[in-house]
Structure formats: structure tokens, C-alpha cells
Amino acid sequence: MNIKVCGITQLKQLQQLDGMDIDFAGMIFYKGSPRYAGDQLPMAEIQDLDVDLKKTGVFVNAGYDEIMRVVEDFGLDTVQLHGDETPDLCEDLSAQTEVIKAFSIGEKDSNIDALVAPYDDVCDYYLFDTASGLVKGGTGKKFDWKKLSKSKIEKPFFISGGIDIEDAVKLKQFRHPDFFGVDINSRFEKEPGIKDMAKILQFKLALK
């Protein structure tokens, strides 16, 4: 199971995650987030950083030019689109970089397949998070994973939203042919943007 740690704001912690064999590290480039990384991470050092994990930039309703500028400035491997981005934008970006399209799942969202259908041919991964008003991700709340297990989806996807160490057993028991990984964030922090590395390592070991 792949692990994506989102909300990284420090170069040192990015390097530590790579040393722990974490698969994806998310850096948020949405200024409305308390984990905004654009003015905290050293651009040149991140760009030249030799790591095995995938450096992932998280965006909310940003335009193509803005996203690609950040991709080039920080040497990103993947972009995660966490807003109302169109399939056309995803298609344009996917010609240049890997794309994760995130979907916020609410209580009334029952037809997951219809929700993702327009994006099937224009991105590489899906990520399912918890819907919570105007907040885009980082809610610390879970949604009903059964909605995913009952859906076809047919693309590698991450489960996100309020994941904690105690969820390791449930994640190992979750079954879907396209379940690719888990995305963790707020429950693994000492404060917004500062991760608890010991807790992340504990979680990684619990998933084995």
C-alpha cells in the first residue's frame, strides 16, 4: 500500500520521509491553507533534491500556467488538483506531469462512478477526501469508505480524510481492485505543516 504524506512545509521533513521510504510527499500551494508551502520551502533546493518519493504539488482551482510554473520551479513529479478543475485542464496537465484528481465525498454522494467518469481518460490517480463546506481537504474527518468499495472506479486511488494510526487495520481490510494508497495529513502533525515523524513511522509499520 502506497503512503502519501500531505502538508509538508520543511525541506528536512521531506528528506526524512524519503529516508522512511514514503511514496508521495504533498506540498500545498493553495494560499488559503494553513500548510501553504510556497513561501516556506527553498525552491532551488527542492528542485534539485535527489529523492525517490514523488514530490507532489497540491492546488485548488489554479490555472494551467500557474501550476506548470510551480511544477518547474520546484521540480514536481505529480500535481494534485483539489478544487473544481475541469477534465480539459487535467488533460492539458497530464501531457506534462502526473495528475491526481481529488474528489470531496459528502453524505449525499452515492454514485462515485458518475462523479469520476469525466476524468477517466485525463488523469493518473484519484483521491477521495471528506467534503466539509468550503474547506478543501485537511478536514480531519472521515467519509463512508463503503461508497468506494461498491464502486468500479477503475483507476488507482488514494483514500484520505481523517486517517489516523488506529485506521491501519481497517485500511488493510479494505478491498477494492484499484485501491492504491492512503493519504495522511492533519492527524500526523505536531502543528499545521509540521509532521510527527515517529507517528508516521508507526503508521507505516502498522500497515505491513
CA distance 177 to 54: 22
For 146-179, b/e burial (b = at least 16 CB within 10 A) is: ebbeebebebbbbbbbbbebebbeebeebeeeeb
How much is the pLDDT for 110? 78
**73 CB neighbour count, 10 Å cutoff:** 15
H helix intervals, the chain: 11-19, 43-48, 64-74, 87-94, 112-116, 146-149, 168-173, 197-206
Parallel, antiparallel, or unpaired: how do β-strands 98-105 and 78-81 relate?
parallel
Enter the C-alpha cell of residue 28: 500545498
Q: What is the DSSP letter of 55?
A: E
How much is the pLDDT for 189? 96
Q: Pick the closest to residue 35 from 82, 97, 94, 103 (CA basis).
A: 82
| Contact predicate 53/23, CB 8 Å | yes
Q: Is the CA virtual torsion 142, 139, 162, 102 positive or negative?
A: positive
Residue pLDDT, tens place only, 96-138: 999 999 999 987 787 999 999 999 999 999 999 998 755 454 5
How much is the pLDDT for 140? 64
Enter the C-alpha cell of residue 72: 518547474
SS3 label, residue 129:
strand
| pLDDT < 50 stretches in the chain | 135, 137
List, in order of start, the domains of the chain with CATH numbers: 2-206 (3.20.20.70)
Q: What angle do CA 184, 182, 5 make, to 5 degrees?
A: 35
How much is the pLDDT for 135? 45
